[in-house]
Amino acid sequence: MALRLFNWIMAAVMLSPILLIIWMSFTPGAMFRIPLEAFSLRWYREVFAYPGFVNAFFLSLRLAAAAAGAAVALSFVAAYALARTRLRGRAALDALFTAPLIVPAVVFGIAMLQFSNRLGLYNTFFALVVAHVAIVTPYAMRSIAAALRAVPIEMEWAAMNLGARRGTVLLRIVLPLCARGMVAAFLLCFLMSFSEVTVTIFMTGPGYQTLPVRIYNYLTDQVDPTVAALSAMLIGLSLLLALIVAGLGGFKEISK
């Protein structure tokens, strides 16, 4: 009984800042007040009226789509090769592909700041995509490897035995068979990239910011309910994506 009560208190604490933001985003005034009588969509309109947020949103969208797409495509062929061959440097490759889970994001952010500057790529879309691909690769590799494990090798033998070459087997048999896993991997990577702050903040100057970085900078500057409205929308987007990923079974591998 005590356990149950404790669990509900903890659950409430977990959700409280999230719910509070959503609630406050409907406040009519310029002060943060929990709206009890009057609800207003005023701050939602403000979000769209502020070009800084809108531009940042589209940058984040493009970045997350590009990074997730590239990571999933690269991870698919890499995971397939790792699953179907006995490579010599396998342990080293595994370490390389999972390193972003272990190396603190700040460390990579600093490294990327210095590196992209050196190559003249500071504050460019290309550098951001490369960094984000690296950050989301561990997630992509894990969920795609799990999806590939579910494809019996006999299925591939059967296709080859019927005359299909390796490329055809990959495209017409393996890919469709792990399509769910691939979609889940893409959405997960998208989510990770879309909410990435730490590395990105080191890599972007004032004029070129992703949405989370823009919010961060906005918060250090001023605080008004616009951020609450924007945050509420982001929460909704995240939860929507998360529910789709969960529906596709994409979190099973991450929890291991």
Partner 1 sequence: MSLARLGIARAAPARRAGRNGAGRSLAWLVAPLALVMLGGYLAPLAQSLFGSLHPNTPAGIDTARWTAANYARLADPYYAGVFLRTLRVSLVISLVTAVLAYPVALYISRLRPRAQAVMLLVYMAPWLVNVVVKAFGWSLLLRSNGVLNEVLLRLGLIDAPLHIMFTELAIIIGLVHGHFMFVLLPLWVALSGLDPNLRWAAGNLGARPAQIFWRVTLPLTLPALLAGAIINFTMNMAAFATPAILGGSRVRVVSYVAYEVNLVELNWPFGGALAVALLGITLILIALAQRLARAGGRAATAEAA
Partner 2 sequence: MAVAEADRSAVRPAGIRAAPVLELRGLVKRYGSVVAAAGLDLAVGDGEFVALLGPSGCGKTTVLRCIAGIVEPEAGEVVLAGENICGKPIYARDTALVFQNYALFPHLSVFENVAFGLRMRRVPKPELRARVAEALDLVRLSALEKRLPGALSGGQQQRVALARALVVRPALLLLDEPLSNLDARLREEMRGEIRRLQRTLGVAAILVTHDIEEAFSVADRIAVMREGRIEQMGAPAEIYGAPATRFVADFVGHANIFDATVRGAAGRGVRLGIEGGIEIEAPMAPGWRAGDRAWAIIPPERIRLGAAALELDQRFEAEIKEVTYLGGTSRIALRVGAVPFMVASQNAATGAPGAGERVMIGWERDDVIARSAAERGGG
State the Cα–Cα distance between residues 111 and 127, nearest whole angstrom. Answer: 12
Amino acid letter for position 244: I
- Per CB under 8 A, 171 contacts partner 2: no
Query: Measuring CA to CA, which residue among 233, 236, 234, 209 is closest to residue 221?
Result: 209
247 binds partner 2 per the rule CB under 8 A: no
Q: Tell the smallest beta-carbon distance from residue 189 to partner 1 (Å).
A: 13
Q: Which does 50 bind (CB under 5 to 8 A by kind): partner 2, partner 1, none?
A: none
In the shown chain, the binding pattern of residues 84 to 103 toward partner 1, with x for contact by CB under 8 A and - for none, equals: xxxx-----x--xx-xx-xx
Biggest alpha carbon distance in the chain? 71
Cβ contact 146:181 at 8 Å: yes
Residue numbers 122-181 binding partner 1 by CB under 8 A: 130-131, 133-134, 137, 160, 166
Please give the structure tokens belonging to residue 167: 């490329």
Q: How many CA atoms lie within 13 A of 87 on its CB side?
A: 13
Residue with Cβ nearer partner 2 (150 or 239): 150
Cβ-in-10-Å burial (0-12, 13-18, 19+) of 154 comes to: exposed
Asked if 152 is part of the footprint of partner 2 (rule: CB under 8 A), the reply reads yes
DSSP structural state of residue 25: T
Q: Which of 44, 47, 57, 109 binds partner 1 (CB under 8 A)?
A: 109
Contact between 208 and partner 1 per CB under 8 A: no
Looking at residues 49 to 68 of the shown chain, list those that interact with partner 1 (rule: CB under 8 A).
none
Binding region for partner 2 (CB under 8 A): 152, 154-155, 157-165, 168, 173, 176-177
